[in-house]
Amino acid sequence: MPGSDTPRDQPHTGQDGGALPGKAGLRQRVLAARAAMPESARTDASRLIRDHVLEMPEVAAAGTIAAYYSVGTEPGTHSLVFALWKRGSYVILPVLLPDGDLDWASYEGPDALAPGPRDMLQPTEPVRGPGTVARADIVLVPALAVDAAGNRLGRGGGSYDRALARVGGQVPTIALLYDGELLPGVPAEPHDRPVRAVARPGDGITWL
């Protein structure tokens, strides 16, 4: 985790220097870097992230876990969600509403999923209301980047900012990232909701 004296006005570029880009520019860079990763590297990284999350005492003790089903080049969560469910956790997954908010429904295995908006696979179980996420003991969230203050860069739709606004401040909210995506600074706006930890393949769990 970057120290408190890490310059916040320099993005992670693999090189020194450079001004902090806006959200759109940073989002474009991270997506391009993910697309350039070999599929085998993404698969290996996803396996390591899965193992780190499963080893967390907080996750082992959680009764209800709000997770998500990864799409595209995101760190893969399909095997993680399945493993959580198989060991007895009550797993809820998001269902995207027309206004961009997230409802939630229980995960009952990979055969109980159906295609939804934005290439998402969503549970076929009845939805339980957007406020259901407030009852989760752990919340796993997608992100493109996070900084040392927990500021999270998402896809820009605001769905998870609304969901995280319903989650209590003591609930572990964990973003799943590739190595190199915990940055010195991420542009943040008043409506953005920070996360409390990140899970990465090389560095495991970092609390923020």
Is residue 19 helix, strand or coil? coil
Task: Please tell me whether 150 is known to bind a ligand.
Answer: no
The residue with greater pLDDT, 15 or 170, is 170
Q: What is the pLDDT of residues 65-103, one digit of tens each?
A: 999 999 999 999 999 999 999 999 999 999 999 999 999
Task: Please tell me whether 153 is known to bind a ligand.
Answer: yes
Task: Please tell me whether 155 is known to bind a ligand.
Answer: yes
Mean pLDDT confidence for 142-170: 95
Task: Please tell me whether 86 is known to bind a ligand.
Answer: no
The residue with greater pLDDT, 61 or 156, is 61
Task: Please tell me whether 160 is known to bind a ligand.
Answer: yes
Task: Please tell me whether 157 is known to bind a ligand.
Answer: yes
Distance CA 207, CA 196 (A): 6
Is the pLDDT at 9 greater than 60? The verdict is: no
Is the pLDDT at 57 greater than 70? The verdict is: yes
Task: Please tell me whether 79 is known to bind a ligand.
Answer: no
Task: Please tell me whether 105 is known to bind a ligand.
Answer: no
Radius of gyration of the chain (CA): 16
Task: Please tell me whether 42 is known to bind a ligand.
Answer: no
Distance CA 68, CA 197 (A): 16
Task: Please tell me whether 24 is known to bind a ligand.
Answer: yes
Domains and CATH numbers, the chain: 38-207 (3.40.50.10420)
* Beta strands, E only, 99-196: 102-106, 113-115, 121-123, 138-142, 145-147, 152-153, 173-176, 182-183
Distance CA 110, CA 41 (A): 24
Task: Please tell me whether 74 is known to bind a ligand.
Answer: yes
pTM: 0.88
Task: Please tell me whether 76 is known to bind a ligand.
Answer: no
Task: Please tell me whether 152 is known to bind a ligand.
Answer: yes
Question: Which residue, 68, 64, 58, 110, is CA-closest to 88?
Answer: 64
Instruction: Look up residue 69 and give its amino acid.
Output: Y
Structural tokens at position 127: 């939805």
Q: Which residue has the tokens 């399945």?
A: 82
The pLDDT score that the predictor gives to residue 16 is 28
